[in-house]
Amino acid sequence: MSTRPFAPSPATPSDAAPLAQFPEFPSRDDMNNPRYLYDPGHPSALRRHFGAPDRTMVLGEIPISWHPRRTLGALKPDLLVAFNVDCARIFAQEGYSINEIGKPPDFVLEVASRNTGRHDDTGKREGYANYGVPEYWRYDPSGGRYHRASQGLAGDRLVSGTYRPIPIHRVDDNRYWGHSDVLNLDLCWEYSQLRWYDPAARRYLDTFDDEADGRIAERNARIAAENERNAAAAQIQQLQEEIRRLQNP
């Protein structure tokens, strides 16, 4: 896993005066995040995959700026991942202060919508580069109507302060993928859905539907096994009764 050098924050909520909090930011005006990020359970899947919940932040719609009191140019990504950070401090401040945390988030992703797509490709791309975010990804469920990436998936890696495109590979018209060095995961655009693939384990991270399907499959397997046991027991009992009848005509 690749991360930037980490400088510990100067204080934690438990041993410092009340922390400066970020001001309230306007809420989103579309339903893309619930539909494409939260309902499938992508943040939860990433948190389980990376572990260390007190030092690994996986969160969406949290403002990022240099300092809570310097919010001009603050950005509010749909999803961020930050390793080796003080998560309690971020929650206490209700935002991500790069100066106080000691590093920018390691990974940021934006979900395109009719209202946000153009800004994701221009102003936000420039802003995240200015903040020093190592990887910036865009996912467009429409397949490219809102983002400039015709295939619906685009990523940039920061090189000497400038974003350079990450190669996106085509499987067919409905499947594309690119590799995140920071997360050591493949981001996949599959039939308009976002998926995360772990190349080391050779498996996708489970969505909520995957987990539900797995629980249903386990339950059905238990029921089938129990039915087989009951049927076998009934057959044995029938054979024993038949033997007794033959022995005692």
pLDDT confidence of 11, banded at 50, 70, 90? Answer: very low
Residue type, 187: L
Residue 234 has pLDDT above 80, yes or no: no
216-228 tens-digit pLDDT:
445 555 655 666 7
Q: 110 and 57 in one domain? A: yes
Q: 238 and 162 in one domain? A: no
* Domain presence at residue 151: yes
Count: domains in the chain: 2
- Of 185, 205, 225, the residue that ends a domain is 205
* Domain presence at residue 198: yes
* Domain presence at residue 14: no
Residue 4 has pLDDT above 90, yes or no: no
Q: 145 and 67 in one domain? A: yes
Q: 211 and 201 in one domain? A: no
CATH number of residue 116's parent domain: 3.90.1570
Least confident of 46-50, 54-58, 66-70: 66-70
Q: 62 and 123 in one domain? A: yes
* Domain presence at residue 149: yes
Averaged over 190-207, what is the pLDDT? 95
Q: 153 and 54 in one domain? A: yes
Q: 141 and 126 in one domain? A: yes
Domain of residue 155, residue span: 32-205
Locate 226 and state its tokens.
């129990």
What is the rounded CA–CA span in Å between residue 33 and residue 110? Answer: 9
Those residues with Cβ within 8 angstroms of residue 189's Cβ, 6 or more apart along the chain or in another chain: 139, 143, 151, 152, 153, 175, 176, 177
